[in-house]
Chain A
């Protein structure tokens, strides 16, 4: 089964979603990511969804869930590169992803993670 790769960058994990998200894939990602966070004791997760141009309520909730799970495992989540159409869809679906950090691109997202991590210690 195809899986979304999770890259390790120092204390952070990097996930780039470059294929169409379907429900099974999202569930697998949720599994893999929580396992990786626990295993690597990561401090932050950066999810790049810039190539995701279709989103439904399930995927939206999944993103919120992943962020919540990461928080429980003591890692911050930053979602970067959301397309305008995706942002509008999520808002219209009533899923404004409260509590999920966002950034415009990977660079800014990484800066945000580092800043958070710096202030935490």
Chain B
């Protein structure tokens, strides 16, 4: 690419001398375009942003370097990153965000054309370097836009993970872990960690894992469950798996999953009863209030 050539450039001069015209033309274009979003961004704010961008752009261009990744352009990139993040939050689409930069092309080119009237060679060169620079900046906004969206998604995933794995203390020495949703390896890791941590904290000797809310159990999920059970056992606590629905029982057997010596119960109530028996605890009014005779 020819970007390493000096912009020798008339661009900073043009930006300085015709700043007002460029700004006015650019604003008009932005407001008239399909991608303008008066519902999301007030005209005064847009004007302010445009003015500020032109001034940082001029400062960077005057620095002489054309390489948009260079140090002289730090300020421009920072400004665009900030703008892109703000717009992503406001609900602009990626192309609407990028058009902020791309729509500057026409006004800038017009100004260059006025300035370099008659010198076709110079005009072509200037236009090319301006295009390259603006294209890169436009793509940069898109990149930042995407990045900020991904950050949001990542944060939400993390929150969801934490939200969805509460460990509750059912009784003295008895913990319950109601699982809701599919188990993947990431989640198993979090579940396992929080369960084991809670066992250390509370000194519980029995943990009940309730999978009523787990929609399907395949070999992978079963393997994750068995891992959790094994880790719990290593800590010195017993594990009971409860909430196994009839279909899931069928699937487990059809898949040939061997739950080994893990105690399994159909309902949390049954599991709780077993837990109470094992810990030797008694509920206040004689027999525990669970269905069916033991």
Contact = CB atoms under 8 A, between A and B. Distances in A.
A96 B234 contact: yes
A38 interface: no
Nearest to B204: A104
Given A84-B231, A87-B196, 13 more contacts: A79-B234, A80-B236, A84-B196, A84-B197, A86-B234, A88-B192, A88-B196, A91-B231, A102-B235, A102-B236, A104-B200, A104-B204, A109-B236
Interface of A: 79-84, 86-88, 90-92, 96-97, 102-105, 108-109
Instruction: Report whether over half of chain A's contact residues are helix, strand or loop; otherwise say mixed.
Output: mixed
Interface string B179-203: 0000000000100110011011001
A98 to B, nearest CB: 9
Contact of B205 (A79, A84, A86, A104): A104
Contacts of A83: 200
B28 interface: no
A109 B235 CA distance: 11
A104 B199 contact: yes
Interface of B: 189, 192-193, 196-197, 199-200, 203-205, 227, 230-237
Contacts of A109: 236
A82 B231 CA distance: 10
A82 B192 CA distance: 14
Contacts of B236: 79-82, 102-105, 108-109
Instruction: Report whether over half of chain B's contact residues are helix, strand or loop; otherwise say mixed.
Output: helix
B80 to A, nearest CB: 43
B189 to A, nearest CB: 8
Contacts of A102: 233-236
Residue of B192, B200, B236 with highest tally of chain A CB at under 10 A:
B236
B161 to A, nearest CB: 16
A105 B236 CA distance: 8
Contact of B227 (A91, A104, A108): A91
Contact of B203 (A84, A90, A92, A105): A105
Given A82-B236, A103-B236, A104-B237, A88 B231 contact: yes
Contacts of A91: 227, 230-231, 234
A88 B203 contact: no
A90 B231 CA distance: 8
Contacts of A84: 192-193, 196-197, 199-200, 231, 235
A81 B235 CA distance: 7
Residue of A86, A87, A88, A102 with highest tally of chain B CB at under 10 A:
A87
